[in-house]
A and B are shown apart, each in its own frame.
Chain A
Amino acid sequence: DAKTTQPNSMESNEEEPVHLPCNHSTISGTDYIHWYRQLPSQGPEYVIHGLTSNVNNRMASLAIAEDRKSSTLILHRATLRDAAVYYCILRDGLAGGTSYGKLTFGQGTILTVHP
């Protein structure tokens, strides 16, 4: 499985932007970059995903490096509710592949948001 590397923890102040980095130097051409987050005592929830181009949705933005070896999840204005563990995951999009659709979680980044 392609691996991702994330910082163990990050801190932010409320209403400030947060940039969560992820390194994935062994990414393959068919891997999509997915981000999930897990609030305390909840199951993980989907945040955003992308392949090559930067992506925006109502929750966040995803900036993908040109060589695809790294990406950054951007929370434009952090709130206390954004305090969670954020997971960067590579998900194989090649139909019929042995790891097709597999979602492998790492340790993630614990984001603390200060009031």
Chain B
Amino acid sequence: EAGVAQSPRYKIIEKRQSVAFWCNPISGHATLYWYQQILGQGPKLLIQFQNNGVVDDSQLPKDRFSAERLKGVDSTLKIQPAKLEDSAVYLCASSLDPGMNTEAFFGQGTRLTVV
């Protein structure tokens, strides 16, 4: 079974530039999560999708971050404009359904450096 695919693996941009990350979840997984992980901290949930609808985006900085999940499959996370404090690893995860008996699978992440 193919895992969660993310691209790019690494990205370096200057502050105030824009950047987009892509995630392809495991086939058939209804739930998709985007996390931000700053060095030395646990992952922080940015947004959770159930199919193509947003379930939780309470911690997404909506003035600069946006995310979409077209057709309930792939997802993109965008930052515009980027700030220095956005430097982090962005993790995508998916699960078959959010129910109690299913686990979440994580991608390798995209490491973003804002200079």
B-binding residues in A (CB < 8 A): 32, 34, 36, 42-46, 49, 51, 85, 87, 91, 93, 95, 99-108
Check A101–B48 contact: CB distance below 8 A: yes
Judged by a CB distance under 8 angstroms, whether B12 is at the interface is no
**Would B107 and A43 count as touching, CB distance under 8 A?**
yes
Q: A101-B55, A102-B56, A103-B93 are in contact. Are A108 and B103 (CB under 8 A)?
A: no
Cβ of A76 to closest chain B Cβ, rounded Å: 20
Does B61 count as interface, using CB distance less than 8 angstroms? no
B87 part of interface (Cβ distance < 8 Å):
no
B33 and A103 contact, CB distance less than 8 A: yes
Q: How many residues in B have their beta carbons less than 8 Å from beta carbons of A?
A: 27
Which chain B residues lie closer than 8 Å to A45 at the CB level? 106
Partner of A102, one of B42, B45, B91, B108: B45
Q: Does B100 contact A (CB under 8 A)?
A: yes
Closest to A43 in B: B106
Q: Is the CB of B103 within 8 A of A95?
A: no
Cβ of B50 to closest chain A Cβ, rounded Å: 8
Q: Is the CB of A106 within 8 A of B31?
A: no
The answer, among B4, B48, B56, B99, for a CB contact under 8 Å with A95, is: B99
Q: B43 contacts A44, CB within 8 Å?
A: yes
A46 touches which of B4, B44, B104, B108 (Cβ 8 Å):
B104
Q: Which listed residue (B35, B48, B55, B100) contacts A93, Cβ 8 A?
A: B100
Q: Is the CB of A32 within 8 A of B100?
A: yes
Decide: B97 and A105 in contact? CB cutoff 8 A: no
- Over the window 89-113 of chain B, the binary record of Cβ atoms lying under 8 Å from chain A Cβ atoms (1 yes, 0 no) is 0010101011110011111110000
Determine if A105 and B48 form an interchain contact, defined as CB atoms under 8 angstroms apart: no
Contact pick for B106, options A34, A44, A104, A106, CB 8 Å? A44
Residue-wise, chain B 14-55 has the 8 Å CB interface mask toward A (1 for contact) of: 000000000000000001010100000111110010100001
Known: A43-B109, A46-B105. A101 touches B42 (CB 8 A): no
Q: Using known A-B contacts A91-B100, A95-B99, A101-B97, determine if residue A107 contacts B106 with beta carbons closer than 8 Å.
A: no
For chain B, residues 73 to 101, give those with C-beta under 8 angstroms from any C-beta of chain A: 91, 93, 95, 97-100
